Amino acid sequence: MRFDQYIAVATASLASTALGAKCTANKVIDNFATFANKTNTLQSVSGDDNSMTSISASGSTLTFTPKAGSYFYENFPCTNAAADSYNALSFTLSGPAQASFLIELQSRANCEATSYKSAYHNVTVPATAGAVTIPLNEFANASLTAITSFTWSTFTKTGSPYSISNIQLVCAK
């Protein structure tokens, strides 16, 4: 096989693989089963770096009490959310009435890049515990072709418990 034919076959194979990469279900980022090991469902590092007043997991729910400067993060392997058809972040949340916080999405220019940029979205705690879904395109200026982590921070009400569960990327199907 000539080199140019090899390149054409390899390119077609890669294109076929990329097209087949579209999601068929939501991708669970964390169900907190491995919280004690400071890892998430995707076997990446997660945690609060001891920034919370308290934090613990029970079953599939993480409960934490933030203080000023507290944060919680979920790292995951670089994901091309655009090509894979993931279009939102979803999680179940409860916490103090009328509290809010920021979620940071870290992204890169591409998955080989080492530097990242941050985009933020403000979340208000629902009046009753429930699902929160944030379209990824609401993270202004994020590169959805290379997303790598989410961080919850800047809590307006500290000293009160919040609970979070079922953190996942939503498949547009």
Write out pLDDT tens, residues 41-88.
999 999 999 999 999 999 999 999 999 999 999 999 999 999 999 999
**1 lies in a domain?**
no
**49 lies in a domain?**
yes
**17 lies in a domain?**
no
**30 lies in a domain?**
yes
Domain total for the chain?
Answer: 1
Element (H, E) at 18: helix 3-19
The dihedral through the CA atoms of 150, 133, 50, 56 has a sign that is negative
**60 lies in a domain?**
yes
Q: What is the DSSP string of 30-81?
A: E-STTGGGTB-TTS-BEE-TT-SSEEEEETTEEEEE--TT-EEEEEEEEE-H
pLDDT at 173: 80
Mean pLDDT of the chain: 90
User: Does residue 121 contact residue 38 with C-beta atoms inside 8 Å?
Assistant: no
Q: Which amino acid, residue 4? A: D
Write out pLDDT tens, residues 112-133.
999 999 999 999 999 899 999 9
Write the CATH number for 154: 2.60.120.430
Q: Which of 148, 166, 7 is nearest to 79 (CA)?
A: 148
Q: Which of 33, 35, 31, 55 is nearest to 45 (CA)?
A: 35
Predicted structure pTM score: 0.86
**8 lies in a domain?**
no
**Above 70 in pLDDT, residue 8?**
no
Structure tokens at 128: 């009753």
**114 lies in a domain?**
yes
pLDDT at 21: 73
**129 lies in a domain?**
yes
Domain that holds residue 67: 22-171
Structure tokens at 38: 């400071």
